[in-house]
Amino acid sequence: MGSSNKLSTDDKLLLAAIDLIAEKGYNGVSTQEIAGAAGLSEKTLFRRFGSKLNLLETAFDRYHYAEEMTRLFNEEQIVWDLHSDLQLISRTYHEIMNRNRKMIMISIKEEGNLPGFREKTQKHPRQLLEILTNYFNTMYEKGKLIHTDSELQAMSFMMMNFGAFMNNLDADGNYPTVSLEAFIMGSVQTFTRALTP
C-alpha cells in the first residue's frame, strides 16, 4: 500500500490491529495501543468500530480473499479451460494468502479464544468452496469435466492449496525443495489430467 497518509482512517486502524495482534496476540494488545500505532485516538477507534473484536472481524472481511476470488469469475478472467483456470485460481489464492499472512496467523492462534470468531473466519473458505463447486458444475455442463462430485473436488483443490500455503507460512517451510510455482504447476496438471473427459 502507499504511504500511511493516503490510507483512510478505517484502513489505518485495521492495518494497525492486524500488525499488533499478529505480534502480541489478541489479549496482548490494547485498543489504546492499536489507535496509537494508527496515529489516531482510542475514541476514534471506538467511534468507528465499537470494539476490538469488531475491528478484528472487519479486518478479516476487508482483506480476506472471498471478494477477490469472486472478481475472478465476475470480471470474466475465467476462460473455461480447466488447466488455465485452475492455475489462475491457485496463483490468485496464494498471492492473497501470502499478502494476508498475519491475518491467517491470527485466525489460527485466536480462533479458540474469541467466541464467534471461528465462524466469522470460516465465511471466506465457505464462499470459495461454493464458487469452485459452481465452477466445476458449469465445466461439467459444458462437457469439459468428467461426472464427479463437484463439491468434493472443490474441497480437495482448496485443501491442497491451503496445505501448500501452511507449509510456507513458516519462513523455513517443511519442504523447501519444492517451490510454490512448481507445486502449482504440478498439482494443476494432476487435477486437469484426472478431471478432463
Tens-place pLDDT, residues 16-33: 998 898 888 888 999 999
Asked whether residue 55 carries a pLDDT value surpassing 60, the answer given is yes
Residues 55 and 68 reside in one and the same domain = no
What is residue 82's predicted lDDT score, i.e. its pLDDT? 97
User: How many Å apart are CA 1 and CA 15, to the nearest integer?
Assistant: 11
**Domain CATH code at residue 109:** 1.10.357
The mean pLDDT value for 10-17 works out to: 89
Angle between helices 150-169 and 101-110 (to 10 degrees): 100
Most confident of 11-25, 100-114, 158-172: 11-25
Q: What is the pLDDT of residue 69?
A: 78
- Please indicate, yes or no, whether residues 136 and 165 belong to a single structural domain of this protein: yes
Structural domain including 156 reads: 64-195
**Contact indicator for 184, 87 with CB cutoff of 8 Å:** yes
Q: Are residues 96 and 15 in the same domain?
A: no
Single residue among 40, 59, 78 that ends a domain in this structure: 59
Q: Are residues 24 and 109 in the same domain?
A: no
- CB neighbours of 181 closer than 8 A, spacing ≥ 6? none
Q: Grade residue 147 by pLDDT with cuts at 50, 70 and 90.
A: very high
| C-beta of residue 155 within 8 angstroms of C-beta of residue 129 | yes
Residues 122 and 49 in one domain: no
Within this chain, do residues 107 and 53 fall inside the same structural domain, yes or no?
A: no
pLDDT band at 92; cut points 50, 70, 90: very high
Q: In terms of domains, do 52 and 113 share one?
A: no
Counted domains in the chain: 2
CATH label of the domain that carries residue 30: 1.10.10.60
**Residues 188 and 101 reside in one and the same domain:** yes
Query: Which pLDDT score, from 0 to 100, does residue 173 have?
Result: 60
pLDDT value at residue 1: 40
Last residue of a domain, one of 14, 42, 59: 59
Pick the last residue of a domain from 22, 38, 59: 59
Average pLDDT of span 50-69: 81
- Are 32 and 77 in the same domain? no
Q: Contacts from 119-125 at CB under 8 Å and sequence distance 24+? A: 120/57, 120/60, 120/61, 121/60, 121/64, 123/61, 123/66, 124/60, 124/64, 124/65, 124/66, 125/158, 125/162
